[in-house]
Every structure is written in structure tokens, then in C-alpha cells.
Amino acid sequence: MNLAEEIRRLSKNKKAVILAHNYQRPEIQDIADYVGDSIELSRKAMIERDAELIVFAAVDFMAESAAILNPNKRVLLPTLEARCPMAQMLNVEEIKKAKAHYPDAPLVLYVNTLAAAKAHCDVCCTSANAVEIIESLDAETVLFGPDRNLAEFVQRKTGKTVIPVPEWGFCPTHLLFQPEDVRVLKMQHPDAVVMVHPECSFEMQNVADFIGSTSQMCRYAMKSQAKTFIVGTEEGLLHRLRKDNPGKKFVLAYDGAVCPNMKLNTLERLYAALKEERHVVTVPEPVAKKARKALERMFEVTS
């Protein structure tokens, strides 16, 4: 049996749409209907009006967002254990403590949070629109969670006081990148452009020519005249970058930058989830309602 063909056949029969995050394995990206970042994908699912099933090859919070934004469709996560450690770093208790300390500061949460956390924020953001969202707020002090590096990036860009909640939130994969590795690669590829994700450390951001989300990196690489790029984000994005830019060279800034949680999804697990329609992700409606409001507010600001 050709698994990829069987997945496509099942998907068509079940009126499913397969979404793959940019960090998924190449073979999953290749069979997906759409490849992109988390919110891009949830919105794609929203416009697929005939779809009854969403198979979201990604991690927990992304499938939750898709379920929140698509209440009439069932959302499947191929591997239930695929959880983002950064999203787990922010709980409701931490949010309540921060709000008690700064009662007048709005709370902005990165979409890399669980639905229960999103339900307590004023507005969500992505790494692509975080600066725009913070600028849109009529407040000079803003609470921001859970990624400390993204909080610092936004603070530098907006000039506002951005307080990280919790103080220490981070993505374990993006913290693996080190400026020293980039310096060595620059010696090998002196003309290369360095692109990094804002989840990378401040030191990494300082050696970058371009800082942006995965979708922004894809657009930047397409438009750029450069022929070689050193990339500071999870290795899965390189598959898409290489596919979209056949004449250009992409080098990962650190070979070990693999998100083990994203890589829990395999073609076999995706096939099993789709065939048995298992691992349905649900969010209780009272939580979903509040979280949806925060996501919709983000869409209003950035539309």
C-alpha cells in the first residue's frame, strides 16, 4: 500500500482537509493540502467550507486554535502526545498573578498558548503580527506571554514596556541556536543572508540580517536577490524554502534544531488518525468562546 496515496484517497472520501505546519516532516508537508504557520492554516480551514474534518499535523495548541475557529468541523491531531513545551509554560495561575501586579496593563498572548490561557487575554498575536498588535493598543505597558525572546523583540520594535509572563518562557528548539555557529557558517558562506525567528535569543537576533516568522522568512527568501541563506528556525522550514526556491541554497544555523514534538507526527500516525477518526481535539465552549474573541480581535487589528 502506498501510504501517501491512501491518505489522499481517504481524505477525499471523508471530505477532510490536511494541514501541515512548516516544521512537519517533508513527507507530511508533501501530502498536505496546505503548509504554513499555525494561524495561516486555521484560516485556510475556515475557507474550506465543504470540509467536515481537519487533520492538523502539528502540536496541541495549533489544533486547539483550529477547533476554536472552526466549531462546525472536527479537528484531529495525528499524535495526541505532540505538545508544545512553550505553551505548557503559561498557566492560568501565572496569568492571574501578573494581572494582579499590573491591573491596568492589557494581556497579549502569543498563539503558542493553550486555549485555557487564551481565554484570559485581551488579544492574541503571532510572531508575524506581534509588533502590529502591541502598537495598536492604547497602553504603554503590556503583559506578554509566554515567549520572553519574542517579548524583548517586540519591546525593542515598539518602544513600549513589554513585561514577559512568565518571566522565563522560551522555545527549547529555538534556544539551541548560537551566534558562534553562525559566525563559523558565515566563514563558509560569506555572502549568505542570515534569517532568524524572533523566538531565538537576543544574541542570535543581533547577528541576523532578517528577523521574522516562518511565513515572513518564506516571503523574504523568495524576494531576496541573495543565493544563500543561513536559517535560524526549526529544520522543517528548510524543506519548504528549498521547494519554493530551487535555485537558492539554505543552510540550517544549527544542525540539531529539531522540535521533537512536531516530529512525533508521522505518515503512519496521520493515516491511522484519519482512518479511525481518532484524537479529536475539543475545547469546552465557555473557554472556546473567550479564546475565539481574543483570536478574532487579532484578525480585526491585522486584517
For ligand SF4, the closer of residues 59 and 108 by Cβ is: 59
Dig out the grid coordinates for 147 from the structure: 515567549
Angle at 94 between CA 90 and CA 95, to 5 degrees: 90
For ligand SF4, the closer of residues 86 and 221 by Cβ is: 86
- From the CB of 207, what's the least distance to ligand SF4, in Å? 20
Count the neighbouring beta carbons within 10 Å of the beta carbon of residue 202.
11
In the three-class reduction of DSSP (H, G, I as helix; E, B as strand; rest coil), residue 281 is classed as coil
For ligand SF4, the closer of residues 24 and 155 by Cβ is: 24
- From the CB of 100, what's the least distance to ligand SF4, in Å? 27
Angle at 277 between CA 271 and CA 280, to 5 degrees: 115
For ligand SF4, the closer of residues 48 and 235 by Cβ is: 235
- From the CB of 248, what's the least distance to ligand SF4, in Å? 23
Q: Which residues would be at the binding site for ligand SF4 (CB under 6 A)?
A: 23, 59, 84-86, 112, 171-173, 234, 259, 261-262
- From the CB of 282, what's the least distance to ligand SF4, in Å? 20
For ligand SF4, the closer of residues 10 and 36 by Cβ is: 36
Closest-CA residue to 21 (of 5, 45, 39): 39
Contact status, residue 253 vs residue 194, Cβ threshold 8 Å: yes
Q: Exposed e or buried b for every residue in 206-217, given b needs 16+ CB within 10 A?
A: ebbebbbbbbbb
Residue with cell 544574541: 203
- From the CB of 220, what's the least distance to ligand SF4, in Å? 19
